[in-house]
Amino acid sequence: MTVLAPPAARTLTVTRRRRSVRAAVVTVALAVAVAALFVVTMMVGSFRLSAWEVIASVLHLEDNPSVDFVVRGLRLPTAASGLTVGLALGASGTIFQQLLRNPLASPDFVGISSGAGLAAVGGIVLLNLGGLAISGLALGGAILAATLMYVLAWRDGVTGYRFILIGIGVAVFFDGLIGYVLTRAQLSQARQAMHWLAGSVGQASDTELKVLTAALIVLLPLAVLLQRPLRALELGDDTARALGTRTELSRAGLLATGVVLVALAVSVAGPIVFVALIAGPIANRLLGPATGGILPAALVGAVLLLTADLVAVHLMPTPLPTGVVTGAVGAPYLLWLLATTNRQGAGG
Amino acid sequence: MTRLRAEGLSLGYDDKNIVSNLDVTVLDGKVTAIVGANACGKSTLLRGLARLLAPRSGAVYLDGKALTDLSTLDVAKVLGLLPQTPIAPDGITVADLVARGRYPHQGWFRRWTERDHTAVAGALEATGTADLVDRPIRELSGGQRQRVWVAMALAQDTDLLLLDEPTTYLDINHQVELLRLLCKLNAEAGKTIVIVMHDLNLACRFCDHVIAMCEGSIVAEGAPTDVITAELVEKVFGLSCMIVPDPVAGTPMIVPA
């Protein structure tokens, strides 16, 4: 062999090294940001705490009853909910977008959140339920909506465009039904339902959180593993199969992972909009185009949600549901996305 | 000895049979062109040979084993395919795309190896796309883009390479350039190449073997000089023409009458 590598090999080495360094730096930076926001969320409030007090209490390093009451009892559930829901939404959103090859294909647009919403509102208004039962219903509604769309979109396999259009149709249908159910509600129930629909990380119960955390521990590594077939599927079914992917099996696995993640996130915090839509594209901006890291996208989701919650609860004159803040940030992005994708002709 | 062959192969979509009862032998170490009018089933045949379409009846054999009995991954190590309209994720760079050709050689946990690196660098070198590694695909010209896709298929490092109309959207210069590249790969690396194409003159000029199809059946097969006749062109394409020897290579050239 020659001593000097051919120019192509050297350029490739440089390019690949630059990319992996960038990926590592971005991922670590995002993880640090998430950890910092997680701690800050528990520091601020009417009873201010130092970072050390928070960390010591969460990790059970020190016992200080009054600090422990505030941190473990009051603030940790909200912070943990922001963290886990953010991770789940970010990962789920980017899986959907890459799988369906469309930046608009986030689970909150294709009817999954609407399915959860309809089941939850139905539970609140018609069955007079509350708490954990509502979360269970939301979970069931999301999974049902996803299954319904999958079945409707199936024709010799599922393609992106048809799935999105059917998803939007399903979303509109469910939103209509939500409106109808709300008109039948008593005022107090309607208030409760509207609050649930706005989405807030503060409404998580202990059990819901535990379920979501356990699911994340299993599904996040699974999603990172499934990144491999996802990268092939992105090239279209023919190429993916020619490369050796079992396309329908991989797609079903990825969809199931994405659906369970978003369903659990919605059941914990309600349909918090736009986080799933923007986490993936932001991660891609940071990592370089078409890199599609699921883990970085999940971390971006957590950063977004923790930040939105800080803004909603502490920077606003009156505390707001988290979904109001994410909506205010996400809506302009959506408009921009619609305008630019159509200009590039990539909207379909 | 032939590595890829089909016996009594019938293929179709939904309730429509596109090709029926075909026997095809792909000659090892040769460049084969599948030609025919639009909708004659040539792309369908290629998809069947590449395991993208399951046979209605009959079978495709790779190294003596039925394709349906092999795992997708094992097929992908031996047989590469470039679809007619491959999809590139938005903003993907040349280096990233070509590297994805290594998919069948990587495991769930195995990282990028020296072999992957050599294969990708070799593919970039062979297709003359090494200068483009950092460029997004969407900024490239049609000819460059097609060479990048070929590079991805080359990175897959398969002995057999099937290409579905790789020249269709290229201008004449880039068509010739791409076919020369494929012939070079055939001559230097001994790859068996099957190309579905429209241009009969180019097929005759660059390919060792021609399979002519009409309405789902094979009507002629053999070296271009032996099989391309005015009658065949009339029968397959419905074009009355004269066949004259190509002034440069002496291969058959079709001149519409």
CB contacts of A244 in chain B (<8 Å) are 71-77, 103-104
Average pLDDT, chain B: 91
Within 8 A of A286 by CB-CB distance, chain B residues are none
Distance CA A345, CA B58 (A): 42
Q: Which of B70, B64, B67 is nearest to B55 (CA)?
A: B67
Q: Cβ B121–A245 below 8 Å, yes or no? A: no
Q: If contacts are CB pairs under 8 Å, which of residues 85-114 in chain A contact chain B?
A: 98, 101, 103
Percent of chain A with pLDDT over 70: 94
Gap from A243 CA to chain B (nearest CA, Å): 5
pLDDT grade, residue B245 (50/70/90)? very high
Average pLDDT of the residues in A162-183 = 90
Mind listing the pLDDT tens digit for each residue in A28-47? 999 999 999 999 999 988 88
Please tell me the predicted confidence (pLDDT) of residue A80. Answer: 93
Query: How would residue A342 be classed by pLDDT, with cut points 50, 70 and 90?
Result: low
CATH code of residue B19: 3.40.50.300
pLDDT in the model for residue B102 = 94
Average pLDDT, chain A: 86
pLDDT-based confidence at A164, cuts 50/70/90?
Answer: confident
Give mean pLDDT, residues A105-127. 87
**CA distance readout (Å), A310 to A314, A315, B57:** 6, 7, 63
> What total number of domains does chain B contain?
1
**pLDDT classification of B205: cutoffs 50, 70, 90:** very high
Q: So what's the pLDDT on residue B200?
A: 92
pLDDT of residue A270 exceeding 90? no
Structure confidence at residue A6 (pLDDT): 65
Which CATH number does the domain A15-94+106-342 belong to among 1.10.3470.10, 3.30.1490.20, 1.10.630.10, 3.40.50.2300? 1.10.3470.10
**Of residues A79, A189, A171, A183, the one with CA closest to residue A134:** A189
Q: Is the pLDDT of residue A62 over 50?
A: yes
Q: Cβ neighbours of residue A54 under 8 Å, at least 6 residues apart?
A: A39, A42, A43, A71
Q: How far is A106 from chain B (nearest CA, A)?
A: 16
What digits encode the pLDDT tens for the residues B21-49?
999 999 999 999 999 998 899 999 999 99
pLDDT of amino acid A338: 74
B201 contacts: CB under 8 Å, gap ≥ 6:
B246, B253, B254
For the residues B164-191, what does the mean pLDDT come to? 91
Q: Which residues span the domain enclosing B64?
A: 4-256
pLDDT band at B248 (very low <50, low <70, confident <90, very high): very high
Distance from the Cα of A94 to chain B's closest Cα (Å) equals 13
Q: Which residues in chain A have Cβ-Cβ distances shorter than 8 Å to B75?
A: 244
pLDDT at A348: 39
Report d(CA B34, CA B209) in Å as an integer.
Answer: 9
Average pLDDT over residues A270-296: 87
pLDDT band at B219 (very low <50, low <70, confident <90, very high): very high
Q: Out of A9, A13, A239, name the one closest to residue B86 (CB).
A: A239
Query: Which pLDDT belongs to residue A141?
Result: 92
